[in-house]
Structures are given as C-alpha cells and as structure tokens.
Amino acid sequence: MYPPRTTVLEGSSIKLPLRFFQSSSLKNALSPDRKNLSVWLLFAIFVLLTFHYLSDRDFSFLLTLSSIVGSFGFLLGLYKVVSSRSVQGLSVKSLILYGVVSLSRFFSILFSDSYLPYDRSGDWVYRCTEGVEVIAIAFLLYFSYRYKYTYYSFIDSFAGENRKKSCITIGLLLFSLLCLSIIIHPGLSQKQSIDVLWSFSHYVEAIAVYPQLTLFSRSRHGEIEGLTSHFVFSLAISRLFALLFWASCWRELNAGTRWLGSRYAGVSILLSQCIQIVLMGEYVYYYVKSYFSLLDTNSSLLNGTPLVLPVCRTSRED
C-alpha cells in the first residue's frame, strides 16, 4: 500500500494527513467534541465581547485576560470533577496552594484599586473573574473531600506522602513566603497589609502548580485525562499573559516602597511569573506535541483523549 498523502503547512515542518482536511473526516473527528467545542466557543465569544465592550482595548487588558483564562481553567477542572464524579488526576495540594493564592489576591484587590488594570475592565470584570476563581477552587476542594475515594494521595507526593508531615511542610513553606512578602513588597496601595497580601499571592503562585506537575510525572503511563490537561494548559496561558503585562511595567512596583522593596519589589514579582513559565514549559511542549500527533489519527484532546507525558517510575502503582 502507498503511504497516506500529506500536506505541509507553509512555513512549518509539521505534516498533517490530507484526509484530515476532507469534510467527512473532519466531521467524524469533531462529532464527539461538540459539547466541549461549545464550551471553548462560548469562552472565546466572552473574551471578545469583554475586550470590545468592557475594556478600553488597552495593553493593561492583558492582566484581565490573564484572570479570565485562569478562572476558565479552574471552571474546566470543576466541570471535569462534576461530570466524572472523580478527582483522579488532580493534586489537592496544588488546589490548596491555589486557594491561598486566590483568596490573598482577591482580598488585596477588593479593598484597594492599586493593583487593578488601568482600563475599564479593572472596574469590575477583573474583580468578578477573581471572585469566580475563588468560588471554583472552593468547590474543587469540597469535591476533593466528597470524592476522596477517587483521590490517589500516594502519587500526590509533593512534600511527602505522610499527611501530617506534608501539612507541616506546606505550612512552613507558606510561612516562609509570607515572611518574604513582608520583607519585599510593592507600596502602591500605601497600606502595608494590602501590599503584603498581594505580594504573598504571587510568591505562592510561583510554586502552586508544582504539586500538580509532580502528580502528572508519577501517574501510571503518564496519561492525563483531556479536561485535566486543558485545565493546566489554561493556567500556563494565564501566567504567560500576566508575565507579558508585568514585563512591561515591573519598575512601577518599586515606587512608594522602602528598604529592599524599593529595589527588588518589581524584580521579585517578575521572577515569580518567570518561575511559573519555566515549571510549566515542558508540560506545554508535550501538550502541543500531543495535540498535533492526535490530528494524524482524527482524535482530539477535546473529546477526552488522554494526553501522554513521560513518567517518573515509582515503587507503587496507581
């Protein structure tokens, strides 16, 4: 038999099978995805409407967009848990850390306008999306308790498998980051409690995804359920938008501060964003690689086809 004909996208080395572009094959590939595609389509429409009608179309909208994408990611995770009645594949330790992040950031912007986007989207859209994120994480933590029989704690091994020691380690880590935020923080709000709380949210967020990535690496065969993979990918894109925003104005965070904050406040926030991108970089690579490889088989991550990552072998199996 002759090998299948392929077509090469101009300017790219990725080869896609010609049959994928035929209407019947494309229809068959997308038919199981209609519900998930509708979710993504509604999200895209919401972003466009928000950008067009609820913002000044300013560069600072990137910060709002980062919040929207992040909230959407947690809603995807919540949808996955509710629809499957399982928290398998999710790291409760990551959810706890993200809960601390969301609460800290939400309260810091709720009582101060200093860390809001400059354009109209900062008036209420940004606050609302951060509030939605807090609620989504709260429900995820609730369902992680309700469906605890589906939670594999031994592969969620960040800070150790022993629950008591793990809680102590995470508590010490949070205390250390709180001390760091007290020492190095911006002074835009002129209220130290708000500035410290906002900085604390960014410092914790820098490492919040690490337990989730650790769980992925220890999962059997490295397979990640489709919606779970979208959830983490959304967090990565959210952090990329935030990095682009703070890379352009991090020096402004040094204003109004004293001691170390006057020199390192902006750098520390920018560094926290970079750490997240570095941590999730390899995951994003395999996510994109898996997506293009599935095109060749008329499959899709959208319909629940697992994303496969390299695994770290352990002595126990899930």
pLDDT surpasses 70 at 223: yes
pLDDT value of position 194? 94
Question: What is the per-residue pLDDT for 7?
Answer: 35
Confidence of residue 227 (pLDDT cuts 50, 70, 90): confident
| pLDDT band with cut points at 50, 70 and 90 for residue 310 | low
Instruction: Inform me whether the pLDDT recorded for 303 exceeds 90.
Output: no
Instruction: For residue range 155-207, list pLDDT tens digits in order.
Output: 887 867 777 888 899 999 999 999 999 999 998 888 889 999 999 999 999 99
Residue among 128, 62, 138 nearest 101 (CA): 138
Q: Give the model's pLDDT for residue 316.
A: 43
| Average pLDDT over the chain, rounded to an integer | 82
Beta bridge partners, 307, equal 224
Confidence of residue 295 (pLDDT cuts 50, 70, 90): low
Model confidence at 280: pLDDT above 50: yes
What are the residue ranges spanned by the domains of the chain?
A: 57-294
Instruction: Give per-residue pLDDT as tens, 91-130.
Output: 999 999 999 999 999 999 998 999 999 889 988 999 999 9
